[in-house]
Chain A
Amino acid sequence: MANIQQISITHLSFTYQHDTNTVLHDINVSAPLNSIIGIIGNHNAGKTTLCRVLAGIIPNMMGGDLLGDVHIGNLSPTKDWSVLNRQTDFVLQDPNSQLSGLADTVADEIAFDLLNHGVDETTIQRRVADVAAQMQLTAQLQQSPSSLSGGQLQRLAIATAIVTKPGILILDDPTSEMDPQGRADFFNWLATIKDTTIFIVSNEIDDLCEIADRLWVLVDGELVRKGTSLEVINQLNPEWQIGTPKVYQLAKLMYWSLGADLFPVNINQLRGCVHDQHSN
């Protein structure tokens, strides 16, 4: 069952301890490794819980009734947690909780994971500088983390996660406090990452459709749609009340279809579509 090149989730159900509501309900899905998977859904749909299962927080730190099987490559977050944890990084919803709480400067905060893993000082210096540049935090390196704005704090949280060069990156709503420019920069940066399996929970449906290889839609703990963003957005049930990208709304209004009742969901598709319309 464990395909080395696949993420596979089979019959995954989960209920938190001392709780009667099933948070995740019989989820079956697979995707190739090193792809970007966008997870969307409304409040309390089970997005954060799914992330916790993928990161092994459930059942290693939070108990409950976990059924089914999850494999990322040949590793299982349940059984091989300590090995998997070395390759995985998680950005929590609340960036404040992401911080070690024990760093005087942004630079020390970013270095925390590397120190824990016994990386040598020269490598630490280089990686910290590198990651800070990617997250536009170079000017803040000597500041205290508590002096940062919400958006900067979220970028710091991401920086602490990517500094270890994880093979698997789980991002739980990483842009909620960023301004539009910061968010755009973040998604542009995310698209450039190679050789990393990325799970990203976000409400920024426009941005997700630009970069995600796959979208998974959760409604009340059930995985109701999975596939490319083009397939998923075109098959959304209005009852789920999930937002659609502006490109899609516009294309639908203008009847710019890609054929077979499929409307474009990102700029590239739209461009192709409008181009076709013109050449007709």
Chain B
Amino acid sequence: MEIRDNSLSNIAKIRWYNLIDPVTKLLVALFLTMLSFVFTNLYFEVSLVLISFVLLLLSRLSSATINAVYFCLFLIVTMILIQGLFYSGNVHPLFSIMNITFYREGALYAVTMSARILIIIFAIGFFMSTTTISENAKYLEAIGLPYKLVYLLMSVCYILPQIQQNMKKIQFAERARGINPQKTVAQKVRSILPILIPLIIKTFDQSINRSITLQLRGFDSPERTLATPKYHYVRARFNHYLLSFLTIFLIGCKLWQIFSRFL
């Protein structure tokens, strides 16, 4: 019986996106983002949005991604408004309502930026919804990232739910004690201190204890068995080189675009 779940036979079903390693997925996100910065043609941007969205649909559309889109919606709307009205390059009116003119150039500029934001959200959403924390941790360790750094990155992912729990407990206790609704900013800030201070001390105490435990438990020992990746990835190293090269090339293009304006 396999007790520790790290053999392929234990995984019920391998989907296509399990064949791509996490670093490649991140590089894809970076590559798409850079593409959208270099080629600012509207149709190109829209097709990039569609490509990244299809990528997401073919894998899994998680609620986190939808939340992220929702999160940016306000900004996108105000951006289109502000730029459409006040963009410095505005020349051609698009429409007018009661003496307020909305311009084409500004709207286009804002739509391009919005597309870029959506590309970033979808591409990162693809990475997030198709990998798990432990898969990423194992992969990073397997490709040679020092365990200390892997630990650092991954424990952040694990600590957030813990802190949320602590926060709920303390908030509950505070609510039971009763806090008057505060009005001014100073009052509000002062009212959270009695909750924040014990929470912070408790959190730091836990990190002291954890650092002691980790040392006692042989963390960072040179003999550590490197983790084996969770899946067998296809052409991981080739993908990394190719995507890194393309991304660096695009960054070079962008820099050239900027500098050539001053020449």
Q: Which of B4, B155, B211 has the most CB of A within 10 A?
A: B4
Q: Out of B1, B137, B155, B216, name the residue touching A57 (CB < 8 Å).
A: B216
Q: Is the C-beta of A6 less than 8 angstroms from some C-beta in chain B?
A: no
| Contacting pair A104 B218 (CB below 8 A) | no
Chain B, range 173-229, C-beta contacts under 8 Å to A: 206, 209-221, 223-225, 227
B interface list, Cβ under 8 A from A: 1-5, 133-134, 137, 151, 154-155, 158-159, 161-162, 206, 209-221, 223-225, 227
Which A-chain residue is minimally distant from B209 (CB atoms)? A97
Cα-based distance from A88 to B220 in the complex (angstroms): 17
Cβ–Cβ < 8 Å partners of A117 in chain B: 218, 221, 223-224
Cα-based distance from A111 to B133 in the complex (angstroms): 18
| Contacting pair B4 A55 (CB below 8 A) | no
Among listed A16-24, A124-132, A182-190, A221-229, interface-contacting one: A124-132
A-B contact sample (4 more), CB < 8 A, given A85-B216, A102-B151, A125-B2? A92-B212, A105-B4, A105-B5, A128-B3
| Contacting pair A124 B216 (CB below 8 A) | no
Chain A, range 103-155, C-beta contacts under 8 Å to B: 104-105, 107-108, 111-113, 115-121, 124-125, 128-129, 132, 141-142, 146
Cβ–Cβ < 8 Å partners of B218 in chain A: 85-86, 113, 116-117
Cβ–Cβ < 8 Å partners of B221 in chain A: 116-118
- Chain B binding site: helix, strand, loop or mixed by DSSP? helix
Q: Is the C-beta of A89 less than 8 angstroms from some C-beta in chain B?
A: yes
Which B-chain residue is minimally distant from A85 (CB atoms)? B216
Cβ–Cβ < 8 Å partners of A92 in chain B: 209, 212-213
| Contacting pair B206 A96 (CB below 8 A) | yes
Q: Out of B3, B151, B162, B225, name the residue touching A107 (CB < 8 Å).
A: B3
Cβ–Cβ < 8 Å partners of B223 in chain A: 116-118
Cβ–Cβ < 8 Å partners of B158 in chain A: 101-102
Cα-based distance from A267 to B177 in the complex (angstroms): 47
| Contacting pair B3 A129 (CB below 8 A) | yes
Q: Is the C-beta of A94 less than 8 angstroms from some C-beta in chain B?
A: yes
Cα-based distance from A119 to B223 in the complex (angstroms): 9
- Kindly provide the distance from the CB of A164 to the nearest chain B CB, expressed in whole angstroms: 8
| Contacting pair A128 B217 (CB below 8 A) | no
Cβ–Cβ < 8 Å partners of A125 in chain B: 2-4
